[in-house]
């Protein structure tokens, strides 16, 4: 059986390099959050957990980009990740990467798809 797609937000609320939208998930059996951002006109979603230390990235709710809007940044230790693939681009996350969540847009809405590790909070 295919996993159902779960709506996150309207496409229009995600601005290029702007504020992201958080959404609740169960990750590896524990409560967590995912987030979605727009970069290079596409949407990308990741588990909100730094590859360096497993803490949330955003310094204020939804604030994931660095000041230049080019990288996703961990607010605690400054780890930088490329928005298009979640790979570490600098800082203490050497060789690490963010856990991607499948996300897509359809009819002006952004959706995410659960997988074996990241599941909806109401399964």
In a domain, 65, yes or no: yes
Residues of the chain with pLDDT under 70: 1-3, 123
CATH number of the CATH domain containing 42? 2.102.10.10
In a domain, 69, yes or no: yes
The pLDDT of residue 74: 94
Q: Indicate the pTM of the whole model.
A: 0.93
In a domain, 83, yes or no: yes
In a domain, 77, yes or no: yes
- Count of domains forming the chain: 1
- Reduce the secondary structure of the chain to three states and give it as a string: CCCCCEEEEEHHHCCECCCCEEEEEEECCEEEEEEEEEECCEEEEEECCCCCCCCCCCCCCCCCECCCCCCEECCCCCCEECCCCCEEEECCCCCCECCEEEEEEECCEEEEECCCCEECCCC
In a domain, 59, yes or no: yes
In a domain, 39, yes or no: yes
In a domain, 107, yes or no: yes
Residue 14's domain spans which residues?
6-119
In a domain, 1, yes or no: no
The pLDDT of residue 2: 56
């Amino acid at each position: 059986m295919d996993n159902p797609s779960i709506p996150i937000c309207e496409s229009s609320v995600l601005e290029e390099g702007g504020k992201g939208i958080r959404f609740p998930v169960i990750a590896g059996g524990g409560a967590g959050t995912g987030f979605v951002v727009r970069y290079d006109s596409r949407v990308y979603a990741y588990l909100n957990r730094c590859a360096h230390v497993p803490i949330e990235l955003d310094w204020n709710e939804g604030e994931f980009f660095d000041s230049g809007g080019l990288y996703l940044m961990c607010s605690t230790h400054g780890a930088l990740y490329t928005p298009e693939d979640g790979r570490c681009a600098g800082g203490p996350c050497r060789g690490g990467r963010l856990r991607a969540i499948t996300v897509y847009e359809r009819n002006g809405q952004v959706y995410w798809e659960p997988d074996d590790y990241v599941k909806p909070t109401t399964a």
